Amino acid sequence: MTHAPTDQGPDLLGSGWYTTEELATLMKVDPSTVRRWRTQQPVQGPPFVRVSGRTTLYSVDDVRAWLQSRRTDPGAS
């Protein structure tokens, strides 16, 4: 079942989620790098949701948007 976004914001439950380890694998970095991003001041990396003291999740949509915001197009200069 596909969930559509509502007027109350993004569809957080239907968009899919990455764990810290899954995001690290996707980004080809060590999980400690992803953990460091979210503990640095100012916070770096994609937006995240801390579900508990040991569980942090990253929305697939937020990761895509974050990657797009960091994209550099050499042909655009």
Q: How many CB atoms lie within 10 A of CB 56?
A: 18
0.85 surpassed by pTM? no
pLDDT band at 3 (very low <50, low <70, confident <90, very high): very low
Mean pLDDT of 48-59: 94
* pLDDT, position 2: 42
Among candidate residues 9, 53, 39, 45, the one with its CA nearest the CA of residue 24:
45
The string over 11-49, giving b where at least 16 C-beta atoms fall within 10 Å of a residue's C-beta and e elsewhere, is eeeeeebbebeebbeebeeeeeebeebbeeeeeebbebe
CA 66: distance to chain centroid?
A: 7
pLDDT digits 0-9 by tens, 11-36? 656 679 999 999 999 999 999 999 99
pLDDT band at 1 (very low <50, low <70, confident <90, very high): very low
* pLDDT, position 76: 81
